[in-house]
Chains A and B, each alone.
Chain A
Amino acid sequence: MAGMDALRATGSHLAEMYARAAELYGGLPAFATRRARGQWTPVGFRELFENGRALATALIELGVGAREHVGLLGDNRLEWILADYGVQLCGAADVPRGRDVTDAEIEYILRHAGVRVTFVETACLAQRVSKLRGKLPDLDEIILLEAEGSAPDGTRRLGDLVARGHELRAAGDRRVEERMAGIRPDDLFTLIYTSGTTGEPKGVMLTHANIMSQMENIGMEIRCTDRVLSILPVWHVFERVFEMIAVSRGCCTYYTSPRHLADDLTDVEPTFMGSAPRLWENLHQRILKRVRETHPVRQVLFHTAYFLAHYYKESVFFLTHRQLSLRRRGALWRAGAVAFHVLRWFLLLPWYGFFNAAVLEKLRLVVGGAFKGSVSGGGALPREVDQFFNYLGIPVLEGYGLTETSPVVAVRTPAKLVIGTVGPLIPRTEVRIADPETGEVLCPDPACPHGGRGRRGEVEVRGPQVMKGYYRNPEATKAALRDGWFRTGDLGMMTFNDCLRIVGRLKDTIVLSSGENLEPVPIEARLNQSPLIEHAMVVGQDRKFPAVLIVPAAEAAESADGELPERIGAEIRARVSVAGGFKAHELVRDFRIVVEPFRVGAELTNLQKLRRHVVTEKYSDLIESMYAQDTQRKERKP
């Protein structure tokens, strides 16, 4: 058994890791592709590596140089990972982006990254890139990933290149081995463009050392008998790290899609999965709906079971130091709490034991019944959803990170599964909490009684996972990196049991619960132009849709009397529209009027800029009311 835990393919760069994995795991399935319900095709580690090496040989023949940037436009599929193998094995770096990329983004990214050769997933995407050739003088080669579909002229096919590579290898071509020997840990393995705050995407430079450190330090117990289900886009570094960890441990990754997720969860019985809050919200809804549809006796059994699980697990969490600890408590308080929880634990144990076995296990089967953990990232998990799954016995390990930190900074572990936090820092990672305005370090602060725990400020990260910088953007790099410390733009604090808690965002970008980003500033600027509106602030972080708080202009408030809300509503619809240049997910769906004007020094900085966290805190009830329907649906709970 020690033998199994020790099995791990490592190396100083991804190409080396890929080669070791092929040696160690040989014919074990590395990736599996769904053909139809219950019918999947596996590909083994050795086969994948050999094809990847052939592809790399063909790429070298196409003239792809070491450290060159190769485009990779597409979503999760076997050919994506094969293309990645090819790129890594020839010592280049890929520039990934999903199928939903816009023409403007393709143009900007491929030009900025200096891409000569790009992979595209579909024939349709090949057409689009082809049409942009006029604006992309550097672009020479387009390689189509999918085997079907008619490719436009001048497009190569992945399969042909792999076949060509095998011929070359058979004839004794060993240039791949030379390339691999030349890869340094400091070389980029990928260049990921994120939609930045200023509108222009920024290219995040991540090195082999970055990703290898992640694979080393993320303490996930994944082995070759595990199964990882892949649902998040692989061009996000979060999902990618997960798949790399799976490769290094000999574990098979199964590609699913939102449409088939429900079936595939029960078919694949995954043991791990990278996930986003939205997924758990959906599953939560589905489980509750299923319960409502069952026989009344079973409903009663479920509610009893959840009730018991809730209080039982709450006590277990408390007794194992996994409760949210935001304050330092006195000894007396702690002794009392321990006594209470021990008693409650003991009284609930037999009942929980029975209901856990008879009722909750069947609910766990909805997600395959084999989960050891699922890491949720890319946004905050709503508290009741978080509790629901963890109390049910489906461990949801919320993590925290950004593309710039490749991505994991902190993640809950089963031993430190503290609901309400993103867990402890991963090894060799430092976090400090700094005052967003003065830059003064609030935590760790030896002068402070508890080392500065419990104080809020901007989260700054230093560690082997922090990016090299933004590609060809020294100003942005300088603003983000200070003496190796990366400024995340997130507000957070360290709890008293040394977990990181994220409380909000300093940076303006709003991430909806769907994972879509939107910039509030352009929307607010448009609204502020209205004669009726003094100030507008867009909210919607981790929500399903954006909404806005409006401070009406003083004159308008006096003249408009009773009709003000209607007129402002019409104004918002007219100004923030698709016709007006906004995207569908940016359309504001609700608003509330704030009577008290924003004041400099409180809600506004000296430069009249919004202090978003102040407004969010002050008007949290008002904001909540806009999403009340949303949460009500969620809260019709056990």
Chain B
Amino acid sequence: MMEIDRELLNAGEQALLAVMILIIMFGMGASLTPRDFREALHRPKGMAIGFLSQFGLMPVIALGLALLLRLPPPQAIALVLVGCLPGGTTSNMFAYFARGSVALSISMTAASTLLALVFVPALLNLYASGFAARIDAEMLAEGAEGFVIPHVNIIVSLLLVLVPVAAGMVLRRFSPDWAKTAEDTAAFMGIVVILFLIASVTIRHGGLFLQTPGSVYIAALGVSLAGFLFGYGFAALWRVEPRQQRAISLETGIQNTPIAFAVILLSFEEPLRSQMLWLPILYATSVVITSSVVTLYFRRTGRIDDEIYRNSRVHRRLFGADYRTPYPEAVVPANLKRHLPRIHAEVVERSR
């Protein structure tokens, strides 16, 4: 098992991480309006498929990977935790550039963030208890106190994380302009802090990269890729609109990692805390790369259906809500044909 002799992050770094969580969650709130929560109800099918993919598929993928790669229990719990997380604002941005449905992405983020209060502890209990039991046994054998997953602490930390989100929404309510600034600054801060932490960890624990078993890297990288793949396949199976397929795929693979940091920092004790933190840090870094690649792929494959969608939307906006663009047969790709009437009927999507 990988051993971390000292704490992975010192007190200063942990404080920095906490500030980052605060800022990012505040920025996330600044990008949301109550309307986003209400609108979730307007897309029942997309939301239902997305929900099943996010809270049904993704935790199983994480569990499967943890078992397949025989991850040590602390990392396995961390991986399952990552798998159970709700989506974050990053996924909305990627959905936008991947020609996905931004509205669905935003609604899924909003709904899953709320539902996380119930589902994260429940799913952790379901999928991580086995790993927790192994830690418990090990600790007892070493003569230490036993270990159980701290459910109450987890729920409290999830609640705490929602406080800055709510504050961000209040800001958005009173000053959309400042909210916009907060949103951008937050995303940038997130990247800077993560890179800083990696750099600082590299300096202080130089050997950590070498000590980290390959399976942990594969897990961090694979969990997002598998999420994209299965999310996309699942949505395609249910034949939702291509733009929603892309949004669901990205929403499934991209998780709100700051929540993982918050949960680990607030609910777990050392040395477990340090052992668990490393995996989400690696995930947070690699997910930027994997989702960029997937986004570029979606941009390419989704060009035609997105152009038709966008053109129809402009036509309805300019020519009246009843206008139906009569595309010639040859133009409409097969996977879009059955969706055209509904694309026509859909409410005009709010722009990013």
Give chain B residues whose Cβ lies under 8 Å from the Cβ of A313.
none
Contact with A along B161-188 (1 / 0, CB 8 A): 0000000000000000110110011011
Decide if A269 touches B314 in the complex (CB within 8 Å).
yes
Give chain B residues whose Cβ lies under 8 Å from the Cβ of A29.
315, 319, 325
The contact size tier of chain A is 35 or more
Residue among A27, A227, A297 making CB contact with B314, cutoff 8 Å:
A227
Q: Which residue of B lies closest to A269 (CB)?
A: B314
Do A42 and B315 form a contact, CB below 8 Å, given A28-B325, A28-B326, A358-B187?
yes
Q: Is B11 an interface residue (CB 8 A)?
A: no
Do A268 and B314 form a contact, CB below 8 Å, given A225-B308, A358-B188?
yes
Q: Is A370 an interface residue (CB 8 A)?
A: yes
Give chain A residues whose Cβ lies under 8 Å from the Cβ of B180.
298
Inter-chain CA distance A297–B177, complex, in Å, is 12
Decide if A38 touches B187 in the complex (CB within 8 Å).
no
Q: Is A359 an interface residue (CB 8 A)?
A: yes
Decide if A268 touches B318 in the complex (CB within 8 Å).
yes
Do A297 and B330 form a contact, CB below 8 Å, given A225-B308, A227-B314?
no
Decide if B318 touches A32 in the complex (CB within 8 Å).
yes
Q: Which residue of B lies closest to A298 (CB)?
A: B181
Residue among B97, B191, B318, B331 making CB contact with A224, cutoff 8 Å:
B331
Decide if A26 touches B304 in the complex (CB within 8 Å).
no
Inter-chain CA distance A542–B103, complex, in Å, is 45
Q: Closest approach, in angstroms, between the C-beta of B338 and any C-beta of chain A?
A: 17
Q: Is A295 an interface residue (CB 8 A)?
A: yes
Do A354 and B328 form a contact, CB below 8 Å, given A40-B319, A41-B319?
no
Inter-chain CA distance A267–B316, complex, in Å, is 11
Inter-chain CA distance A39–B320, complex, in Å, is 8
Stretch at the interface among A1-9, A459-467, A558-566, A574-582: A1-9
Q: Which residue of A lies closest to B309 (CB)?
A: A225
Decide if B328 touches A224 in the complex (CB within 8 Å).
yes
Decide if B328 touches A295 in the complex (CB within 8 Å).
no
Q: Is B310 an interface residue (CB 8 A)?
A: yes
Give chain A residues whose Cβ lies under 8 Å from the Cβ of B178.
295
Do A4 and B331 form a contact, CB below 8 Å, given A29-B319, A38-B318, A225-B307?
yes
Decide if A301 touches B331 in the complex (CB within 8 Å).
no
Give chain A residues whose Cβ lies under 8 Å from the Cβ of B328.
7, 24-26, 28, 224, 250
Inter-chain CA distance A3–B332, complex, in Å, is 9
Q: Which residue of A lies closest to B184 (CB)?
A: A358
Residue among B184, B311, B326, B330 making CB contact with A298, cutoff 8 Å:
B184
Decide if B177 touches A295 in the complex (CB within 8 Å).
yes
Give chain A residues whose Cβ lies under 8 Å from the Cβ of B308.
225
Q: Is A353 an interface residue (CB 8 A)?
A: yes
Contact with B along A412-453 (1 / 0, CB 8 A): 000000000000000000000000000000000000000000
Inter-chain CA distance A410–B180, complex, in Å, is 42
Q: Closest approach, in angstroms, between the C-beta of A459 and any C-beta of chain B?
A: 37
Decide if A353 touches B304 in the complex (CB within 8 Å).
no
Q: Closest approach, in angstroms, between the C-beta of A582 and any C-beta of chain B?
A: 43
Q: Which residue of B lies closest to A44 (CB)?
A: B326
Do A297 and B318 form a contact, CB below 8 Å, given A223-B307, A250-B328?
no
Decide if A267 touches B326 in the complex (CB within 8 Å).
no
Give chain A residues whose Cβ lies under 8 Å from the Cβ of B317.
38, 267
Q: Is A357 an interface residue (CB 8 A)?
A: yes
Q: Is B343 an interface residue (CB 8 A)?
A: no
Inter-chain CA distance A357–B93, complex, in Å, is 8
Secondary structure call for the A interface: mixed
Give chain A residues whose Cβ lies under 8 Å from the Cβ of B307.
223, 225-226
Q: Is B202 an interface residue (CB 8 A)?
A: no
Do A297 and B181 form a contact, CB below 8 Å, given A40-B319, A224-B331?
yes
Decide if A27 touches B177 in the complex (CB within 8 Å).
no
Q: Is B150 an interface residue (CB 8 A)?
A: no
Residue among A7, A40, A370 making CB contact with B331, cutoff 8 Å:
A7
Q: Closest approach, in angstroms, between the C-beta of B23 and any C-beta of chain A?
A: 13
Q: Closest approach, in angstroms, between the C-beta of A49 and any C-beta of chain B?
A: 15
Q: Which residue of A lies closest to B324 (CB)?
A: A27
Do A267 and B330 form a contact, CB below 8 Å, given A354-B188, A358-B187?
no
Give chain B residues whose Cβ lies under 8 Å from the Cβ of A38.
317-318
Inter-chain CA distance A357–B325, complex, in Å, is 31
Give chain A residues whose Cβ lies under 8 Å from the Cβ of B311.
225-227
Decide if B97 touches A357 in the complex (CB within 8 Å).
yes
Give chain A residues whose Cβ lies under 8 Å from the Cβ of B184.
298, 301, 358-359
Decide if A297 touches B185 in the complex (CB within 8 Å).
yes
Q: Which residue of B lies closest to A359 (CB)?
A: B184
Decide if A295 touches B330 in the complex (CB within 8 Å).
no
Decide if A4 touches B319 in the complex (CB within 8 Å).
no
Do A224 and B304 form a contact, CB below 8 Å, given A38-B318, A298-B184?
no
Q: Which residue of B lies closest to A35 (CB)?
A: B318
Give chain A residues whose Cβ lies under 8 Å from the Cβ of B319.
29, 32, 40-42
Give chain B residues whose Cβ lies under 8 Å from the Cβ of A358.
93, 184, 187-188
Q: Closest approach, in angstroms, between the C-beta of A59 and any C-beta of chain B?
A: 30
Inter-chain CA distance A224–B327, complex, in Å, is 8
Inter-chain CA distance A281–B307, complex, in Å, is 29
Q: Closest approach, in angstroms, between the C-beta of B350 and any C-beta of chain A?
A: 13
Inter-chain CA distance A359–B185, complex, in Å, is 11
Give chain B residues whose Cβ lies under 8 Å from the Cβ of A350.
288
Q: Closest approach, in angstroms, between the C-beta of B131 and any C-beta of chain A?
A: 34
Contact with A along B68-102 (1 / 0, CB 8 A): 00000000000000000000000001001100000
Q: Is B271 an interface residue (CB 8 A)?
A: no
Give chain B residues whose Cβ lies under 8 Å from the Cβ of A354.
187-188, 191
A-B contact sample (17 more), CB < 8 A, given A1-B333, A41-B319, A250-B328: A3-B330, A26-B326, A26-B328, A32-B319, A39-B318, A42-B323, A223-B331, A224-B328, A224-B331, A225-B308, A225-B310, A267-B314, A358-B184, A358-B187, A358-B188, A361-B97, A365-B351
Task: Report which B residues bind A (CB closer than 8 A).
Answer: 93, 96-97, 177-178, 180-181, 184-185, 187-188, 191, 288, 292, 304, 307-308, 310-311, 314-315, 317-319, 323, 325-328, 330-331, 333, 351
* 10 tightest A-B CB contacts, nearest first: A3-B330, A225-B307, A27-B326, A40-B318, A225-B311, A4-B331, A358-B184, A1-B304, A42-B319, A297-B181
A-B contacts, 25 listed (Cβ < 8 Å): A1-B304, A6-B330, A27-B326, A28-B325, A28-B326, A28-B327, A29-B325, A32-B318, A32-B319, A40-B319, A41-B319, A42-B323, A44-B326, A224-B327, A224-B331, A225-B307, A225-B311, A268-B318, A269-B314, A297-B185, A301-B184, A353-B292, A358-B93, A358-B188, A359-B184
